[in-house]
């Protein structure tokens, strides 16, 4: 059913899938359409109502408000059943604007999260499965290309920066583990016992804890 949902999502969003985008400031669910671009890597949310932006001469100027979301940046898509963020989005709406089981919040940093309301819980599930498959297909293609070229799958921690959960995904862990020869290779010391002890002593001295360090043995 996941792929069936995904095919429906791709087909319908190519044409423009009806939805409402949450306007947090006004507490409104604004009539909109969700469109998937031709290369299937960008979701565009277009408000169906024009927004007044100023005047030129005696005439008013308006434009269609748009928000976009790059699928490669999607980290989570939250729903009210298990997400505080989605419940906050639902709580920001004025009473009667939406049912909680139709709310989605797409988390794709660094862009602001996009809160949307679908017309039914079933439509919400279609969007969830559609995004899941699109993201998975994109990542699998990238991983296959990397494997064919003998490269790291990417996402390894850059030197000097934090170790994040994104650096420890399944594919990266598998590649990293295999690249070093497997777990058994961890037991092979790269230096003598004397060299190791000298390095430890040097570290303790640099930290100015030599007395405590040696007194702990």
Could you read off the pLDDT of 90-101 as tens digits, one per residue? Answer: 999 999 999 999
pTM, two decimals, is: 0.65
pLDDT tens-digit readout, 92-148: 999 999 999 999 999 888 878 999 998 989 899 988 988 888 887 777 666 666 665
Element at 131 (helix H, strand E): helix 121-148
Place of tokens 């230096």: 191
Average pLDDT, the chain: 77
Are the C-beta atoms of residues 39 and 141 closer than 8 Å to each other?
Answer: no
Return the bridge partners of 23, or none: 28
Residue of 187, 181, 152 whose CA lies nearest to 169: 152
* 67 has pLDDT over 60: yes
């Amino acid at each position: 059913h996941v792929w069936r949902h995904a095919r429906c999502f791709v087909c319908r969003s190519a044409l423009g899938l009806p939805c409402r985008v949450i306007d947090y400031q006004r507490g409104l669910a604004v009539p909109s359409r969700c469109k998937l671009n031709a290369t299937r890597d960008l979701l565009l949310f277009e408000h169906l109502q024009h927004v007044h932006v100023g005047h030129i001469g005696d005439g008013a100027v308006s434009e269609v408000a748009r928000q976009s979301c790059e699928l490669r940046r999607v980290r989570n898509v939250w729903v009210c059943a298990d997400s505080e963020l989605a419940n906050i989005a639902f709580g920001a709406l004025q009473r009667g604007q939406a049912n909680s089981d139709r709310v989605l919040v797409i988390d794709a940093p660094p862009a602001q999260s996009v809160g949307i309301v679908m017309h039914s819980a079933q439509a919400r599930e279609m969007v969830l499965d559609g995004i899941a498959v699109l993201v998975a297909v994109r990542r699998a293609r990238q991983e296959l290309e990397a494997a064919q070229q003998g490269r790291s799958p990417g996402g390894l921690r850059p030197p000097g920066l934090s170790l994040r959960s994104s650096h420890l995904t399944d594919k990266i862990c598998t590649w990293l583990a295999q690249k070093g020869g497997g777990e058994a290779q961890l037991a092979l010391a790269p230096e003598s016992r004397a060299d190791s002890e000298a390095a430890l002593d040097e570290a303790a001295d640099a930290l100015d804890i030599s007395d405590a360090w040696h007194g702990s043995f």
